[in-house]
Structure 1
Amino acid sequence: MPRPLRLLLVEDSEIEALLMTTWLERGGFQLQTRRVLQADEFERALATETWDVIISDYNLPTFDALAALRLYQGKNLDLPFIIVSGGIGEETAVAAMRAGAHDYVMKDNLHRLAPAVERELREAEVRAARRRAELALRESEERYRALWETATDAVLLLDETGIIRFANPAVVQVFGHTPEQAIGLPFATLFPPRLATEILQTTTMTATAANVSGPQRPILESVCVRRDGREFPVELTVNRLPLPGRNWLVAFIRDVMELKRAKAQLHENEEQFRVAREIQQRLFPKSAPQLAGIEIAGFSVPADAIGGDYFDYIPLLRGRWGFVVGDVTGHGLGPSLLMAETRACLRVLAQTHEAAGDILSQANRMLSGDVGDERFVTLLLASIDPVARTLNFANAGHPAALLFDRDGIVKATLKRSGPPLGVRSHSVYATSSELPLLPGDLLLLMTDGIEEAMSPTEEFFGTERASAVVRGHRNEPAAAIVAALAAAVGDFSRTTVQLDDLTAIVVKVL
């Protein structure tokens, strides 16, 4: 099968060009040829196309093979460059070869042209393969050098007796030794004397092990000694490195001081979260008040991160009952403690203040000195008279509660009447006018965790979905309604991790 060959031919005679291409085709090549006569044509061809071989007549009227050779060499190409001539002498041919030409063929001997091209193509491929191998070797050496020089672990090369023979730059950060200072030290001197025997046994076992290396080696926890005498925890791995004529050991030593500190901090944080969760759960009411003609149910589903959600049922003056939902910004022990303080404030104030707005105004003044600049509390207090069947409220920056009629239509929205608690100490919260409660009415109070629950497609659950759930289950008991709402949010979120608690209260008038 003919072999494709892209030929750049420098030749002014069409007849001789035809002879050369004919001999090449007879030699088994399928040619794609471009013939040029001038230097600018030759340069343009080199710059714009890819060639397998260059064949040049030695003498042309305005151009010659040596000039073409110099232009070719200036492009840093490695293609077979073959000179064809009708009458150059041996000295001229040798000089051309020394100048960089790969071969020359006399025009009266063109049957040699195809074999010469075949040979030079093979030589060019050998050179290209050699360059690729050398480049791969250099890149490999550079990668290993980069790993050696930039590794944050101390890497030590030991002989069979446990003497350090090479050390990477990381020994300065890990041990305080320069690589030069580390070389020649017994490996055991990097460990406290009480561990020297153990380390010697480890290195000896590794040196005599037959086939255990790499990932099969266990990572050992130990203690090393810095140059200044301070001890620090490490993870240690020792591997055997057999090389021709000698066995070596490679030790990888990682300073895990910061890792252990981080683990201790993580354990402390986990304990704080556990305490915070316990505080949060204990503050929720154990049961709803039993009011004639009114059903009450609430729930709070904790998120993976401890939040500051809060709900409560508080007895108020003159036989009224307060229904509270609140949310402290942030996560962890601090918000949980602030939530506990808020609950205590509301319960104390409820014994001396009747109006919902007054209770929130006083709570705001009490909390303002404790919350700081980074914390605040959103809170909604709905006050219900179970005898008169009326409702009023005060809302400190909390998402609005919704009052539905028996047909599921929103008849009132309990909107914000002031900023969150703790934002401004002088804020005063007004109490709304009384809203009548009729049979079939249903009040929904919830925190923003429900509205902002996110699906796997990063869509919010939203108030409309919450309203639809309540509307669809409005003829069921209050406990069934809150259960349906919690289930709907869970189904919507599926596997998405929720970053906020889900809290709601439903009050249903029978």
Structure 2
Amino acid sequence: MVEDSLDDIEAVRRWLAKSESAYELQVTETLGAAIEALASRIPDLILLDLNLPDSHGLESLNRIQAVAKDVPIVVFSGHADRSIAIHAVRSGAEDYVLKDEVASPEHLTRPIDLAIERCRRRLAEKSLLGFHNQLALAHRIQQMLLPDPSDRFSGIQWCGRCEPADQAGGDFYDLMELPDGRLAFVIADVSGHGLVPAMVMMETRAILRAMAMMCDDPGTILSNANKILCRDVQLRYFVTMFLGFLCPERKTIRYASAGHPAYVISADASVCVLSSKEPPLGIVDTLSYVTHQVASRFPESTLLMFTDGILDSVSPDAGYQSFDQVVDKAVRCNDGALEDVIDSLFENIQHIGADRDDCTALLLRAAVDEVNAVC
């Protein structure tokens, strides 16, 4: 309370003491003292007399608002001039209470309580808007980090799609052509969805890209990435991942998996599953991930990778019941363009609902002859 009249201060103390709610009243008699007090403690509300020894009229309101931007202010005045009340509210005061009209605790506590509630609601809405703005920014950044659909890689066709459950998500895929002509590719799924998994995703992508330029062994890359993520996320999140290096000249794929399979679909509809027993990243920092190799020998083979959100986010009447059903659908469409295969996998995805999860798929295709897994 900013008030220099001892009688008014005592009157407010009496009314608040008679109220059913508990209030703690801190009093300063000048505006300067109030501004100094605000530097060390922020109140839930300021009850302000406009005419003080060191400030008068709306100047008092404007000066205290400058240092207490998010604190509701109720003007407590002896002036019955309606124009002053209107100007005070237009200038940002929550309410205007006339001293002479306070005849019961409710006449004082009601405008106080309503002012506090209105301010809290505004701050909550502001915070929510800020969160949504952060999500929107994260979404834009994530979309920028995905490979551009127009990107071309030597001897390789590709198509990918990533649809987050929220504006930002934990799924991602990436492609990077290395100086020696190999193509590094990855698909990953950070547990959960929203802003924090999106941040973990961006960190994971940066780690992988940096390591892929220095190391040609997928297992070593995953082992080192796992150590970093275990330190940073501390068991709060984990990351499933399939990382591979495709060498078109040698017609081989070297890969490592962290709880995430991939599937090689041949032109004759046979399927080779690429997987390993290693768990997701971010759980045990001492794990070593193993590198496997696939020798390619058949024409127009397709490498299929997708996250489990495709299973979890489809409509119940047309949903996939297992990973095999997703693969079967891709097999049936494999003689068409990769874009058509992606469209078929996503055609029954629900874009709203509590069960909605991030959905991502990546397909690669090269003119090779046959696949035998060498593990």
Tell me the TM-score range normalised by the shorter chain: 0.5 to 0.7
CA contact (8 A) 1:450 1:462 kept: no
Report 1:313-332 matches (<5 A).
Answer: 313-316=175-178, 318-332=180-194
1:397-427 deviation line (CA, Å, top 9, x unaligned): 22x21111112221x2122442222212221
Residue of structure 2 in register with 1:276 after alignment: 138
Residue 75 of structure 2 aligns with an amino acid whose one-letter code is P
Aligned-pair CA distance for 1:436: 1.8
Residue 210 of structure 2 aligns with an amino acid whose one-letter code is V
CA contact (8 A) 2:165 2:351 kept: no
Indicate the SS of the match to 1:192.
Answer: strand
Q: How high is the TM-score relative to the length of structure 2?
A: 0.66
Matched, 1:405 2:266: yes
Residue 114 of structure 2 aligns with an amino acid whose one-letter code is V
Matched, 1:223 2:95: yes
Residue of structure 2 in register with 1:13 after alignment: none
CA contact (8 A) 2:19 2:109 kept: no
CA contact (8 A) 1:284 1:311 kept: yes
Distance in 2 between residues matched to 1:358 and 1:374, nearest whole Å: 23
Residues 459 and 451 of structure 1, relative CA distance in 2, 3 Å threshold:
closer
Distance in 2 between residues matched to 1:494 and 1:264, nearest whole Å: 26
Residue of structure 2 in register with 1:472 after alignment: 332
Aligned-pair CA distance for 1:222: 4.0
Task: Compare relative contact order (CA 8 Å, sep 6+) and give the higher one, 1 or 2.
Answer: 2
CA contact (8 A) 1:275 1:333 kept: no
Distance in 2 between residues matched to 1:476 and 1:196, nearest whole Å: 80
Aligned-pair CA distance for 1:458: 10
Alignment gaps of 5+ in structure 2: 1-17, 26-72, 87-92, 98-104, 368-375
Residue-pair matches, total: 289
1:174-198 deviation line (CA, Å, top 9, x unaligned): 9789xxxxxxxxxxxx952369655
Distance in 2 between residues matched to 1:372 and 1:458, nearest whole Å: 38
Residue 258 of structure 1 aligns with an amino acid whose one-letter code is R
CA contact (8 A) 2:166 2:193 kept: no
Residue 420 of structure 1 aligns with an amino acid whose one-letter code is P
Identity of aligned residues (%): 30
Residue of structure 2 in register with 1:369 after alignment: 231
1:98-152 deviation line (CA, Å, top 9, x unaligned): xxxxxxxxxxxxxxxxxxxxxxxxxxxxxxxxxxxxxxxxxxxxxxxxxxxxxxx
Larger Cα-atom Rg? 1
CA contact (8 A) 1:391 1:437 kept: no
1:265-298 deviation line (CA, Å, top 9, x unaligned): 2122212212221221121111365345431111
Residue of structure 1 in register with 2:64 after alignment: none
CA contact (8 A) 2:74 2:112 kept: no
1:165-220 deviation line (CA, Å, top 9, x unaligned): xxxxx96339789xxxxxxxxxxxx9523696559999xxxxxxxxxxxxxxxxxx
Residue of structure 2 in register with 1:420 after alignment: 280
Residue of structure 1 in register with 2:300 after alignment: 440
Indicate the SS of the match to 1:403.
Answer: strand
Distance in 2 between residues matched to 1:351 and 1:450, nearest whole Å: 31
Aligned-pair CA distance for 1:471: 1.7
Distance in 2 between residues matched to 1:337 and 1:402, nearest whole Å: 28
Residues 174 and 200 of structure 1, relative CA distance in 2, 3 Å threshold:
farther
Distance in 1 between residues matched to 2:352 and 2:171, nearest whole Å: 22
State the Cα RMSD in Å: 3.7
1:358-410 deviation line (CA, Å, top 9, x unaligned): 11112222332212221222111022111122222101122x21111112221
Distance in 1 between residues matched to 2:134 and 2:154, nearest whole Å: 41
Distance in 1 between residues matched to 2:96 and 2:193, nearest whole Å: 39
